[in-house]
Structures are given as structure tokens and as C-alpha cells.
């Protein structure tokens, strides 16, 4: 075989490298009206969007981005993290996106079989969910004339999900993972052996039955985040007790490789639910996220740390923030004036219907426990002094009151991040928050528990 001359070899090497370079990237062409001159490629970090790559416009409204080929995974493209479009990038040569930079949700992805197939699957899943909802509504109505028909439909729907899942396993692993998160089988037909005592127990144990959490393909799939968020949200809102919530979260987390992006997404989903519901486990999972991912996702870890600092200062177990505000007589009243007593901080206003409706119950409890060490401090979000004082007198609110008559801009209200009233914080004799949002029977039970304990020999 003749040796290639050095010049010919260099030319062939350059051509080969050019070919390899073309095969190693996906070209993403974006034609976007409106917006600025920069475009970002983001990935979801479990708590927000982190920029991975950026380009500037080649000409007004036109951006060309080269993204490395890889196993298909989900990215997000937009000019800022508030306006992004999800896009699957994997092994295709070119993907085109057309739309308005200020409303990326309406942008159109074209020239991509991967994204077309994914969008088609999303539509199928939406249809399956709608069908499930209709069947379950019919079953809940309990009309004996069509119960058998509905049960048969439900069986057909379960089978349809499994057939679709099975058909995707080899031909499209990305879509298979999406479908696995949506292949939940009906309680009515799959608990005939009474393995689980009720539907909630079945849900908690079987919701992710088709998901292989060791599969690295879940690392960048936001469906995992959304599914886990739904899972935790249903569990908490169903009234599952704290230690059981922790048990079921840990049961899933333990199946996901440590340090993985998939685990980060699940922790982020749990934190999002805990934050929105002010759940006691927020601190545990927030601190865990920061510990495990401060190096891999520093922006998200910092955001969670700051959120914890803001949120935890008003959670149960935190020191109630000190404040001073004046009474109707103009006398300064401080929270620390109540040290040594249980005090209910009651944020209300004369114009608040639910507040006024609750007042008779609070009056009854105050009269019952005021000699036992119970006090109330009313903090009014009124602006009209006369209406405030008239409401105090009319409702027989004989405890101490304060207001700066700034309405929703009340300084104490801002300190305690009040966004709706009535709102209450129960503070113990050491100034620690021990309960929030107690009203009606819940407040009555809590006070009975406190003062029964105090009156019991050996009680506090």
C-alpha cells in the first residue's frame, strides 16, 4: 500500500475532523421576534433553571446554537429563565424553534422527530388522564346500571397504559421513561387481594411502581420532578403524619443514586411542597439539598439557604420576632412584655369578615384561660381608627391591641409576612413559636392540651 503524502494526509485528517465535528453537535436554529440579543440554554436543577450555554444573535431575531450530541434529554431555551420552551436534544442534526421571545410557551419546534414524538406522547397521556377522570367520576356516582361497563373501561385503560409503556421500551427509551411516570394502575382493579387497606396506602406504595430509579436517564427529566411533587403534595394534603411523610419520601430517595441529578430533582420537589405548605420537614430537606448539592448546584443551594433563613424564622420552633407597636391609648406594647405567658398573636381587621366571625370563639377561650397564663395581642390591619375601636368594643375584645393604621403595610404585619387574615401565631412563655394558624376547634384543642398539662402534677 502506498503511503499517503504528508500533505494529503493533513487534508484528509482535516476533512475527517470537520465531519466528526458536524456529527458531534446538534444545530439549534431559533427565529424569535421581540426580546434581546442573547439566548440561553438552561437545565433544570431541582429548584430553578441554570444556564449551560448562551449565544448572541447572528442578526436580529436569529440565533444559532451548537449543542453536543448525547442521549436524548430535556433542555430549556429562552432569553431568561421566566420564559423558556422545553426542547429534547439528542442525536438529531438540526432543530428549529420559531416564535416570540416574550412568550416562549407558544413557540413552535420543527424539523425534529424526537420533539414531535414527545409532543404526541404528551397528548396521548393527557387523553388517558382525561379518560381516567371520567371513569372515576362515574364510579364515584355509584349508579349500578353502568358500574360493570365503567369497570371494564377502567381495565381497558390500565391495559392501554401498559401496552404503550411496553411498546416504547426499546424504540424510544426517553419516551419510555416519561410513560413509566404516567403508567399508574387503578386501585379499584389492582388491590383485589386487599394488600393495602385503602386507596391512599395503595397510592403511596404503587405510584412509582413502573419507574426504575437507578436508570440515569431520569437525571434530566422534569417529569420526575413534577411526578414527585404531585406525590408529596397528595400525601401531605391527605393528612399523612410527619413521620410517615418522611418514611415514604426516604423510601423513594433511597432508590436514587446519591449525588445524581434525579435525586436533586426529587429533593427540590419535596422542598417546593414543604415550602408552599409551611411543613415541618422543610428544614430537613432544605438542609439536605444544600449539603448534598452545594458544589453541583451552587445557585440552587444558595437560593434554598436564603429561603430557609426567611421561612424558618416564622416556623414552629423559631424565636418569634420581637416588635413594638402602640396601643389605642398610644402606649408602646412589646412582644417581650408577655414573657412568661402563652400569647396568641392575632392578626385581624375590623373589615375582615372571617376575623369577626372567629372573634366570639377567641373571646370564649380567652375568658377560660386568661387566669392560667394565656394572653392575646391583637394586631390590626385597619386604616380607620374609629372602625378599629368600634370593632374592639362591639366584639368585646378585652385583651391588648396594637396598630399603626397602615393597613396591609402594618410594620408588624410585614415582619411576620402576613398575606391573608385572620392569621395567628401561638408563642410560648420563652417567646418561641409553637403553633400557627390555629382557629376554632384547633385553637381550643391546643389550649386545652397546654393548660391541662400545666395543671397536671409534674407538668410544665
pLDDT value for 456? 52
Answer yes or no: is pLDDT of 12 > 60.
no
Answer yes or no: is pLDDT of 16 > 70.
no
CATH of the domain at 432: 3.40.30.10
- Same domain (yes/no): 379, 268: no
Euclidean distance between CA atoms 297 and 129, whole angstroms: 34
Cβ-in-10-Å burial (0-12, 13-18, 19+) of 335 comes to buried
Euclidean distance between CA atoms 98 and 1, whole angstroms: 52
Which pLDDT band holds residue 321 (cuts at 50, 70, 90)?
very high
pLDDT value for 453? 65
Phi first, then psi, for residue 40 (nearest 5°) are -120, 145
Q: What is the mean pLDDT of residues 425-442?
A: 93
Phi first, then psi, for residue 395 (nearest 5°) are -90, 0
pLDDT value for 62? 94
> Is residue 144 one of the residues assigned to a domain?
no
- Same domain (yes/no): 355, 260: no
> Is residue 174 one of the residues assigned to a domain?
yes
Answer yes or no: is pLDDT of 51 > 50.
yes
| Structural domains in the chain (count) | 3
Select, from the ranges 18-22, 157-161, 277-281, 310-314, the one with the highest average predicted confidence (pLDDT): 157-161
- Same domain (yes/no): 188, 129: yes
CA 265, 223, 246, 278 dihedral sign is positive
CATH of the domain at 101: 2.60.40
pLDDT value for 354? 95
pLDDT value for 277? 86
- Same domain (yes/no): 299, 392: no
| Domain, as residue range, for 250 | 115-139+150-312
Which of 143-147, 340-344, 349-353 is the least confident region?
Answer: 143-147
- Same domain (yes/no): 89, 193: no
- Same domain (yes/no): 205, 296: yes
Which of 6-10, 151-155, 292-296, 322-326 is the least confident region?
Answer: 6-10
Which pLDDT band holds residue 315 (cuts at 50, 70, 90)?
confident
Three-state DSSP class for 147? helix
Answer yes or no: is pLDDT of 66 > 60.
yes
CB 37 within 8 A of CB 288: no
Answer yes or no: is pLDDT of 214 > 50.
yes
The Cβ of residue 20 has, within 10 Å, a number of other Cβ atoms equal to: 9
pLDDT value for 9? 35
- Same domain (yes/no): 295, 382: no
Answer yes or no: is pLDDT of 8 > 90.
no
> Is residue 88 one of the residues assigned to a domain?
yes
Q: How many residues does the chain have?
A: 460
The Cβ of residue 82 has, within 10 Å, a number of other Cβ atoms equal to: 9
Q: What is the mean pLDDT of residues 371-383?
A: 96
Q: What is the mean pLDDT of residues 173-201?
A: 95
What is the average pLDDT value for the chain, to the nearest integer? 91
Looking only at the bridges linking them, the beta strands covering 25-33 and 94-100 are parallel
Amino acid at each position: 500500500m502506498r503511503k499517503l503524502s504528508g500533505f494529503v494526509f493533513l487534508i484528509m485528517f482535516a476533512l475527517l475532523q470537520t465531519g466528526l465535528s458536524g456529527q458531534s453537535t446538534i444545530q439549534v436554529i431559533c427565529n424569535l421576534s421581540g426580546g434581546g440579543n442573547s439566548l440561553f440554554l438552561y437545565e433544570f436543577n431541582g429548584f430553578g433553571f441554570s444556564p449551560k450555554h448562551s449565544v448572541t444573535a447572528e442578526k436580529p431575531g436569529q440565533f444559532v446554537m451548537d449543542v453536543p450530541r448525547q442521549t436524548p434529554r430535556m433542555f430549556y431555551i429562552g432569553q431568561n429563565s421566566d420564559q423558556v420552551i422545553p426542547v429534547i436534544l439528542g442525536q438529531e442534526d438540526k432543530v428549529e424553534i420559531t416564535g416570540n421571545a416574550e412568550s416562549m410557551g407558544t413557540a413552535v419546534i420543527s424539523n425534529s422527530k424526537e420533539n414531535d414524538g414527545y409532543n404526541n406522547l404528551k397528548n396521548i397521556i393527557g387523553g388517558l388522564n382525561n379518560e381516567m377522570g371520567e371513569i372515576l367520576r362515574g364510579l364515584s356516582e355509584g349508579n349500578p346500571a353502568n358500574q360493570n361497563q365503567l369497570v371494564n373501561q377502567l381495565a381497558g385503560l390500565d391495559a392501554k397504559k401498559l401496552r404503550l409503556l411496553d411498546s416504547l421500551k426499546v424504540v424510544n427509551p426517553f419516551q419510555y421513561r416519561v410513560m413509566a411516570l404516567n403508567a399508574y394502575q387503578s386501585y379499584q382493579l389492582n388491590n383485589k387481594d386487599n394488600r393495602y387497606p385503602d386507596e391512599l396506602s395503595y397510592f403511596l406504595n404503587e405510584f412509582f411502581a413502573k419507574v426504575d430509579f437507578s436508570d440515569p436517564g431520569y437525571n434530566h427529566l422534569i417529569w420526575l420532578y413534577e411526578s414527585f411533587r404531585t406525590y408529596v403534595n397528595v400525601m401531605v394534603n391527605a393528612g399523612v403524619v410527619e413521620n410517615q411523610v418522611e418514611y415514604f419520601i426516604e423510601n423513594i430517595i433511597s432508590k436514587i443514586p446519591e449525588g445524581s441529578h434525579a435525586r436533586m430533582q426529587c429533593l427540590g420537589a419535596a422542598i417546593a411542597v414543604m415550602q408552599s405548605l409551611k411543613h415541618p420537614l422543610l428544614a430537613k430537606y432544605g438542609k439536605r439539598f444544600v449539603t448534598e448539592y452545594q458544589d453541583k448546584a451552587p445557585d440552587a443551594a444558595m437560593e434554598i439557604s436564603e429561603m430557609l433563613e426567611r421561612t424558618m424564622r416564622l416556623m414552629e420552633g423559631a424565636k418569634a420576632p420581637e416588635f413594638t407597636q402602640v396601643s389605642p391609648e398610644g402606649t408602646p406594647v412589646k412582644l417581650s412584655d408577655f414573657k412568661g405567658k402563652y400569647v396568641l398573636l392575632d392578626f385581624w381587621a375590623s373589615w375582615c369578615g372571617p376575623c369577626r366571625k372567629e372573634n366570639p370563639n377567641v373571646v370564649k377561650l380567652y375568658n377560660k384561660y386568661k387566669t392560667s397564663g394565656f394572653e392575646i395581642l391583637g394586631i390590626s390591619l385597619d386604616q380607620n381608627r374609629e372602625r378599629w375601636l368600634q370593632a374592639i368594643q362591639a366584639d368585646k375584645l378585652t385583651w391588648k391591641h396594637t396598630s399603626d393604621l397602615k393597613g396591609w403595610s402594618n410594620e408588624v404585619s410585614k415582619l411576620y409576612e402576613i398575606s391573608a387574615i385572620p392569621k395567628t401565631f401561638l408563642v410560648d412563655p420563652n417567646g418561641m413559636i409553637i403553633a400557627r394558624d390555629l382557629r376554632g376547634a384547633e385553637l381550643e384543642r391546643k389550649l386545652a392540651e397546654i393548660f391541662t398539662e400545666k395543671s397536671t402534677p409534674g407538668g410544665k
